[in-house]
Amino acid sequence: MRKCDTVFTQGSCGGHFGGKFDDCKTEGLYVLALENTQDDMTGSCDYEGHLAMFLMDRTEGADLDGKGNQLVLIPPGNYIVFESSTGNVSLWEYETKQLAVAELERWAERYDRWAEQNDY
């Protein structure tokens, strides 16, 4: 089991076995996406996957266990969280907001074409 170096204000990393999340920062952003705090989203797990984009100018907190026992800090950055159709979650980080937006737009165009062709 591997522990990540993500910063917590409460609790700590419980360890990673190579499952759904590679680290606690990815899990924290995923939790924020579930709470609909992302800047934009596209896709579907019925397609290739679901994407949520975060353009963060300041540190944000996420409650990993929903009870306040594991509070993780997400540093400022430009992120896309990708949940594949198999349920695995990846984190993509970008140097600029423009790069993140362009990537999300590419996915959105592909997804929109797929959704239109499949009456989704």
Predicted pLDDT of residue 115: 87
Nearest of 51, 54, 27, 48 to residue 104 by alpha carbon:
51
Predicted pLDDT of residue 30: 94
Q: Where are the domains of the chain?
A: 8-117
Predicted pLDDT of residue 120: 63
Give the three-state DSSP class for 33: helix
Q: 1-57 pLDDT, tens per residue?
A: 788 999 999 999 988 876 789 999 999 999 999 988 888 888 877 788 889 999 999
Q: What is the 8-class DSSP label of residue 104?
A: H
In sequence order, the β-bridge partners of residue 2 are 16
The answer, as to whether pTM is greater than 0.85, is yes
Q: 78-102 pLDDT, tens per residue?
A: 999 999 988 899 999 999 999 999 9
Predicted pLDDT of residue 39: 83
